[in-house]
Amino acid sequence: MKPVDFDYVKPTTLAAAVDLLAQGNGSVKAVAGAQSLGPMLNLRLVQPELLVDVTAIPELLGTREEAERIVIGAGVTHARLEDGDTSERTQAVLAQIASGIAYRAVRNRGTIGGSLAHADPAADWLVCTTALGAELLLVGTAGQRTVSAAEFVVGGFETMLAPDELIVEVRVPRLSAGSRWGYYKLCRKRGEFADASAAVLVDDARGFYRCVIGATSGRPIVLDDSRPLSELAGAAAVAEALSPTALAGDAFAIQVHAAAVRRAVRAATA
Interaction site with ligand FAD (CB under 6 A) = 29-37, 54, 60, 74, 101-102, 106, 109-111, 113-115, 117-118, 123-125, 161, 166-167, 191-193
**H-type alpha helices, 1-88:** 14-23, 37-42, 58-61, 78-82
Task: Give me the least distance between CB of 209 and ligand FAD, in Å please.
Answer: 24
The residue with its CB nearest to ligand FAD is 110
Q: Where are the beta strands (DSSP E) in the chain?
A: 7-9, 28-31, 50-53, 63-65, 69-73, 135-140, 143-148, 153-155, 158-159, 166-173, 180-186, 196-203, 208-214, 221-223
Residue 154 or 248 with smaller CB distance to ligand FAD: 154
Residue 129 or 245 with smaller CB distance to ligand FAD: 129
Residue 101 or 268 with smaller CB distance to ligand FAD: 101
β-bridge mates for residue 144, sequence order: 139
Task: Give me the least distance between CB of 140 and ligand FAD, in Å please.
Answer: 10
Task: Give me the least distance between CB of 67 and ligand FAD, in Å please.
Answer: 25
Strand order across the 50-53 sheet = 7-9, 50-53, 28-31
Task: Give me the least distance between CB of 270 and ligand FAD, in Å please.
Answer: 24
